[in-house]
Amino acid sequence: MTGALIILAVTVVTGLILYLTHRPDKDGEAAAEPSVAEEECCGLHAVCEKGLSADGKPVYYDDEELDRFAGRQPDGYSEDEEEEFREVLYTLLPDDIYPWGVSLTQRNVALPTSLRDEWLMMVDDAVRRNNNLKA
């Protein structure tokens, strides 16, 4: 019986502390706004909307010819077809590398398996470069 009363007392005290320290916003709900502005998106998380135009359509990076690969499997490309992707990838500006991948995904065009790691490394390099410039 004593143990149950101690547990009840601890629960009540914890609840009281949480109630007193809770800071609701104007509407009585907790603020759910992201701490980072949209234009400062780092590109490493799924909530960024980089690669979208104002109307929500994919942005093209002078790569309209890649749309013919829509619906193909990543490991189903020939060497010549992979080279087409590589040519576009290596002519992009560093800030366009991540949005290009988003654009391909929105267009249902899978990046060839052999290029996926290269694309990820280039995205990582671009993010690191941007973070070093901000520091």
Q: Provide the pLDDT confidence category of residue 22 given band limits of 50, 70 and 90.
A: confident
The pLDDT tens digits for 41-71 are 555 554 455 545 556 688 888 889 999 999 9
**CB neighbour list of residue 26: distance below 8 Å, 6 or more residues apart:** none
3-state SS string for 25-79: CCCCCCCCCCCCCHHHCCCCCCCCCCCECCCCCECCCCCHHHHHHCCCCCCCCCH
The pLDDT tens digits for 75-116 are 999 999 999 999 999 999 988 999 999 899 999 999 999 899
